[in-house]
Amino acid sequence: MSTDHPPLPDADALFEGAPCGLIVTTQDGTILRANQIFCTWIGRSQHALLGVRFQTLLTMGGRIFHQTHWAPLMQMQGSVAEVKLDLVHRDGHTVTMLLNGMRREHASGAFYEMALFGTTDRDRYERELLTARKRAEELLSEKTLAESALQQIKGELSIAYEKSQRRALFAEQMVAIASHDLKNPLTAIRMAADFLAQAERSPRETQLLAHISQSSDRAQRIIADLLDLALARVGHGIAIHPQPQPLHDVVSRSLSELRVAFPQATITHLAHGTGTAPLDADRIQQVIGNLVANSVAYGDLREPISVSSRIDAAAATIAVHNAGLGIPPSVLASLFEPMTRGSLKGDDVRSVGLGLFIVREIAIAHGGEVAVSSSDADGTTFTVTVPCAAS
């Protein structure tokens, strides 16, 4: 068997160079031998330690622990393991060590063989571990508090949301009720104005009756829009009753009425294709009226308002174009929301910003959609597209 490895150091060299402190004492603790590592750790020479009792190197607390615990254990069970002791360095500071000891019987008597290990690295690790554990507990506590606060906030937000929903629903219902109740007195005012206009009147009286009729018409349009808003918000959208309708005829009839309503505007009509589409004629005329009124309010009336209607097998399309300044890009995203206006310009056609919202809801009710393109150079075009196949 090969023995090419170098020879091991002798026992004395192993004792002196061991990576721990080694001490041999009698049963009463008198040091018979201590290696150089131990002597270096407590700042004393080997010669100075000979004949000194080991317990005298301990702090007062260490001596008490030696007397009451580990010395009796060595006597009774013959060994101790990982006993933590504080020894006093020659310059007075404390050195903490872990002690493993064994009582060994020899022909000349019993001796204590003790191995001591420094705890500096272990203590540092334990401190770091305790610090990390404390920080983890603090973070867990913060997380628990944050989750509790979040749940509380969620609960408060849920309650606030429910309250706001109830308030909004109540407000919309009140708008619907008030708008509905206003229709009858307005109708009576309009009928009375029309009846009075049939008799011979002075120019001043004729003018006042015309103002009454125009104001009542405007109020009825606003009430109709508010009722449609309430239907869209409270119910399930605007109700329609589609029937096969010749698209161009519906558009033409609507424009004939609008030319009378807006004599200051030039309104043209371009028709493309032939055929019918499933339409609610009254609602489609409402769409055209709202879009033309929007063009009158915000467009350049020195140029004509162009209305085109196109139909083919797939869809019916109505486009309303007006010249003038474009709609700001910041407004386009919310243009079809209620109470939204395309510019700051005032008008007498609509005052609550519901026209385009109603247009979108009517288009959706027909299974279609509405789109807008706008720029200063090309003006503004609203396009409503409705599928020709009945839903």
Those residues with Cβ within 8 angstroms of residue 300's Cβ, 6 or more apart along the chain or in another chain: 322, 323, 324, 325, 379
Contact assessment for residue 326 and residue 295, using Cβ atoms and an 8 Å cutoff = no
In a structure prediction context, what are the per-residue pLDDT tens digits for the chain, which is 391 residues long? 555 667 777 878 888 888 899 999 999 999 999 999 999 999 999 999 999 999 999 999 889 988 988 888 888 898 999 888 899 999 999 998 899 999 998 888 889 999 999 887 777 777 788 888 888 888 888 888 888 888 989 888 888 888 777 766 655 665 655 555 565 676 677 677 777 777 777 888 777 777 777 677 667 666 666 666 666 665 556 778 889 999 999 999 989 888 888 889 999 999 999 989 999 888 898 899 889 988 998 999 999 999 999 999 899 999 999 999 988 888 888 888 876 655 545 444 444 567 888 889 889 989 999 999 999 999 999 999 999 875 4
CATH superfamily of 11-118: PAS domain (3.30.450.20)
Rounded Cα distance between 390 and 201, Å, is 51
Q: Which pLDDT value is given to residue 233?
A: 61
Contact assessment for residue 36 and residue 46, using Cβ atoms and an 8 Å cutoff = yes
Q: Which pLDDT value is given to residue 390?
A: 52
pTM above 0.85, yes or no: no
Domain residue limits, the chain: 11-118, 125-234, 243-387
Q: Which pLDDT value is given to residue 283?
A: 86
Query: In CATH, which of 1.20.120.450, 1.10.287.130, 2.60.40.420, 3.40.228.10 is domain 125-234?
Result: 1.10.287.130
Q: Which pLDDT value is given to residue 4?
A: 67
In whole angstroms, what separates CA 13 from the centre of its chain? 71
Fold of 243-387: Heat Shock Protein 90 (3.30.565)
Evaluate the CA torsion angle 205, 208, 213, 216 in order and state its sign.
Answer: negative
The token pair at 218 is 């405007």
